[in-house]
Structure 1
């Protein structure tokens, strides 16, 4: 089973959807309990709610692909639409790129990571001003900004390590990206950042599982389902070496 999951993992990283056959939907690596209500109530007129709503709408548009990460295993129990499946999805990725000033790129350019463009687009759709969340084609750009201003009074996005803060809906969870990367838990906030990063938007937590939506996750907008620690903290995994949480303090 482990060899099969690893094969599926590297297959999903190997270029555009049209260049290879989509994977079949394997059985989940773990039994996932249906989520309970969020542990935090979010006002419907808040920026947090609008961020989660915009991300969820895009996940639905891309066919509701799910990725389950359980310790060092990963499975895709439901495969959705991929970035280059058809013109509507190719064009949708172009809209994400336009949010960061790169209108020449689209879903056909699937060698270009578009997860930061996706998050920037979601923030714009939710009405978050660029002065609070600077749109960027690279996660490193806006994360470096938050690391530099996060301790200022009244800051809207506050960086934390994964062992000092429990993620909540509306937050960002961020990991190093790259084949074979697997490091130790980061105990202090970094002074500089790797260029290869990935972030997702937390849309739901229930104390046991965390549900996060991100772009360019296995060629789609996917909802990742992560098992939290018994105390409710994000856990480092081989497929997603999480190291940073951006707390969202927007009203």
Structure 2
């Protein structure tokens, strides 16, 4: 099932390029990527009022969107469609791993409160035509990955075999 083997551009460790949605998939059980993001936010000192932890990305994504809509001036995170926001360290980048993925965050409003397989990473470096992001449960490890951006620092569309990014949360804390 693997198409190529290469060296990861960040860690230099060997990795395999896997077919669509396997590298970040519902097959990595038990799923712990949302718990990882929740732990990092708590360890960074964010109060639950800014980031309410969850074992599911979908549920904390819903709460972040609701907070931003209720109090745009005071919300800790503001959702943006990926092509509209230059990324900075601390921002969250979220992909939809479902069979029929969301392509923008307003589409999530029609199904708030329902589970959907997602994955989010935290941006830890931005600039020079790429970002580095860290996420949990990527190939069953915490992994730092580098992805390209445009000249303004906005995330590019992933290749067709990868899950699309549907929301970027600007971290305003």
Bucket of the pairwise TM-score, normalised by the shorter protein: 0.7 to 0.9
Higher relative contact order (CA 8 A, sep 6+): 2
C-alpha contact (below 8 Å) 1:65/1:222 kept by paired residues: no
Separation in 1, partners of 2:123, 2:143: 12
Mark the CA change 1:196 to 1:244 in structure 2 (over 3 Å): closer, same or farther: same
Aligned with residue 131 of structure 1, among 39, 49, 53: 49
Q: How big is each residue's C-alpha offset from its partner over 1:153-190, in whole Å with a ceiling of 9 and x where there is no partner?
A: 31111111111111110000000114xx4758438453
Separation in 1, partners of 2:13, 2:57: 22
Moved over 4 A (4+): 64-68, 181-185
Aligned with residue 6 of structure 2, among 26, 29, 32: 26
Higher strand share: 2
Q: Which of these two proteins has the greater Rg computed from alpha carbons?
A: 1
Q: How big is each residue's C-alpha offset from its partner over 1:33-83, in whole Å with a ceiling of 9 and x where there is no partner?
A: x8xxxxxxxxxxxxxxxxxxxxxxxxxxxxx68699xxxx948xxxxxxxx
- Matching of residue 201 in structure 1 with residue 122 in structure 2: yes
Separation in 1, partners of 2:7, 2:44: 35
**What TM-score results when the alignment is normalised by the length of structure 2?**
0.77
After TM superposition, the structure 1 stretch with the greater mean CA deviation from structure 2, 189-198 or 237-246, is: 189-198
The aligned residue for residue 4 of structure 1 is 3
Mapping 1:96-111, distance limit 5 Å = 111=29
The aligned residue for residue 153 of structure 2 is 232
Number of equivalent positions: 157
The aligned residue for residue 156 of structure 1 is 76
- After TM superposition, give the deviation of residue 27 of structure 1 in Å: 3.8
Q: CA RMSD in A?
A: 2.9
The aligned residue for residue 36 of structure 2 is 118
Separation in 2, partners of 1:184, 1:144: 13
Separation in 1, partners of 2:57, 2:172: 19
Separation in 2, partners of 1:121, 1:184: 25
Mark the CA change 1:138 to 1:122 in structure 2 (over 3 Å): closer, same or farther: same
Higher helix share: 1
